[in-house]
Amino acid sequence: MDLSSIHHVAIIVSDYSVSRDFYVNKLGFPVIRENYRPDKRDWKLDLRLNADTELEIFAPEHPPKRLSYPEACGLRHLAFRTENIEETVSQLQSLGIPCEPIREDSFTGRKMTFFADPDGLPIELHE
């Protein structure tokens, strides 16, 4: 079996325009494809994270709310690598996106922090 990398991560959002603005305009992920699917009555937005990985955004009409933060079964959080966590946090805060205090990962010794997307999905930054 050859499972060599993650192709994509998919998330469901409650407000397409707010989430599109967050992931495209604020976080800066380029759009690969953007489609309204009338048969499913939802938007599907594919974003480029890097050469090998995509982020899929699904926006159905009335998705159920996340049950708990962040310890529900399923996806716990997204984690993005950054070369300079202080600079990235400063950029996020300048866009009005609050971040938790930067701390050290007790296993890797690397700096890390969390912020949230418009639906409260936890997003980790890891240096």
Taking the CA atoms of residue 84, residue 116, residue 49 and residue 58 in that order, the dihedral angle to the nearest 10 degrees is 180
CB 86 within 8 A of CB 94: no
- Asked if pLDDT for residue 3 goes beyond 80, the answer is no
Tell me how far apart the alpha carbons of residues 126 and 105 are, in angstroms, rounded to a whole number: 9
Cis peptide before 38 (omega within 30 of 0): no
pLDDT of residue 68: 67
List, for residues 43-99, the tens digit of each pLDDT value.
Answer: 999 999 999 999 999 999 988 877 766 666 677 788 999 999 999 999 999 999 999
List, for residues 7-59, the tens digit of each pLDDT value.
Answer: 899 999 999 999 999 999 999 999 999 999 999 999 999 999 999 999 999 99
